[in-house]
Amino acid sequence: MDSLTQIVLGASVGEVVLGKKVGNKAMLYGAIAGTIPDLDVLSRYFVDTVTYTEWHRGFSHSILFSLLFAPVFGWIISKIEKNSGVNWREWSKLMFWGLFTHPILDSFTTWGTQLFWPFDLRLAFQNIFVIDPLYTLPFLFFLILTMRQHRLSPARRKYNKIGLIVSTSYLALTILLKGITFKKFTDNLETQQIVYKQIQTRPTPFNTILWTANIDTGKEYLIGEYSLFDTKPIKFRGYQKNHLLLGELAGENKIHRLIKIAEGWYTISRKGQTLLFNDLRFGLINLNPVDPKFAFSYKLLKTNNEVIVEETPKFKEDAQNVLLELWARIWGN
């Protein structure tokens, strides 16, 4: 999830663990704990694009990381807050739950987490977008109410509990909606007599009303959208895989790693003389079938017998266009 959401979750968890003893300081350190796992983004400045993509939401989002570093961070805080009356073990407990709930929440997103690192298993339930105001804003509202209460006030614990219940209930609702929309997609595929090998579904950006599906038919990928307000059949658009365009690059180590990252859901396209590797798991940033733009595309270059992989930049105009298109599409077909 986005940084604000993880800060809110970490602060709320910190309040549960130590709010009664140290008040808002529990929220502060909980928020810090909720931020720490995402510091793995700094690795992008030290390694190549493929390695960074492999590392993102890896070790720092694992149970092992939480177990190893919670005592370290707890010890540091115990030295800073030596007059708080809270010992090292209690601070370590706060840090553990702040660190651990971060990847738990991230596992519900499309990218997922390597919670069981170093085992090669990524959890990605794909039932909530990485930024969802309906999850974050009510949670933040109740957290602010909590902060304004005295640390021993029953109202403080009540507001924090409500925030956790509301946010968790919404997360549970997104799982239910995923099940409902999944059946809508599969029913439409059956009605339209489309034979397929695999299907993946997920919500579109910033909402859980409009959902999208990737379908692997073997020869090509289909992509379709379904809104809870739809009254007409789902239209599926076809995208050629074009894997043969890779040519001799298909044998390169970095390409194999990219394919593994994309879990096999990718197309190859050509823009001028440049090959693009399009990761389908995150969908499109426009709904234009003529000129599709994928959320994550990588330029493939070969210079001096070395394969260079560069993520294509995203522009402000892309975000504005996708928001307008999504807003119009959410209300039904």
> Does any domain span residue 147?
yes
Residue 179 lies in a domain: no
**96 and 46 share one domain:** yes
- Of 124, 140, 174, the last residue of a domain is 174
Q: Does one domain contain both 163 and 18?
A: yes
Question: Quick one: 244 and 169 in the same domain?
Answer: no
**Residue 319 pLDDT more than 80?**
no
CB 278 within 8 A of CB 296: yes
Q: Name the more confident of 321 and 131.
A: 131
Domain shared by 123 and 234, yes or no: no
- Asked whether residue 290 carries a pLDDT value surpassing 70, the answer given is no
Given a cut of 80, whether residue 122 has pLDDT beyond it is yes
- Which residues on adjacent β-strands are paired with residue 120? none
Asked whether residue 310 is assigned to any structural domain, the reply reads yes
Distance from the Cα of residue 27 to its chain's centroid = 23
Give the per-residue pLDDT at 288.
65
Question: Do both 201 and 166 map to the same domain?
Answer: no
Same domain, 113 and 216: no
Structure tokens at 273: 């003389």
298 and 164 in a common domain: no
Backbone φ and ψ of 295, nearest 5°: -60, -35
Mean pLDDT of 10-36: 98
- For residue 148, what are the domain limits? 3-174
Domain identity same for 221 and 264: yes
Percent of the chain with pLDDT over 90: 87
187 domain residue, yes or no:
no
Q: Does residue 235 fall inside a structural domain?
A: yes
According to DSSP, the β-strands at 306-311 and 198-203 are unpaired
Alpha helices for the chain (secondary structure H): 3-22, 24-35, 49-55, 63-80, 88-106, 133-147, 154-191, 253-261, 316-330
CA dihedral 42, 107, 267, 190 (to 10 degrees): -170
Last residue of a domain, one of 141, 174, 207: 174
Whether residue 238 sits in one domain with residue 102: no
Same domain, 19 and 112: yes
Tell me if 199 sits within 8 A of 167, measured CB to CB.
no
Give me the DSSP letters along 64-101.
Answer: HHHHHHHHHHHHHHHHHTTTSS--HHHHHHHHHHHHHH
Mean pLDDT of 55-69: 97
In terms of domains, do 28 and 86 share one?
A: yes
Among 145, 174, 203, residue at a domain's last position: 174
* 266 inside domain: yes
The predicted-structure confidence for 141-180, as pLDDT tens digits, reads as follows 999 999 999 999 999 999 999 999 999 999 999 999 999 9
Confidence class for position 63, pLDDT limits 50, 70, 90: very high
pTM for the complete prediction? 0.94
Of 58-67, 272-281, 320-329, give the lowest mean pLDDT range: 320-329
Q: Average of pLDDT values for 252-278?
A: 94
Give a yes or no: residue 183 inside a domain: no
Residue 265 has pLDDT above 90, yes or no: yes
Where does residue 40 fall: left (phi above 0), alpha (psi -120 to 50 degrees), or beta otherwise?
A: alpha
How much is the pLDDT for 251? 92
119 in the same domain as 52: yes
179-193 per-position pLDDT tens digit: 999 999 999 999 999
Structural domain tally of the chain? 2
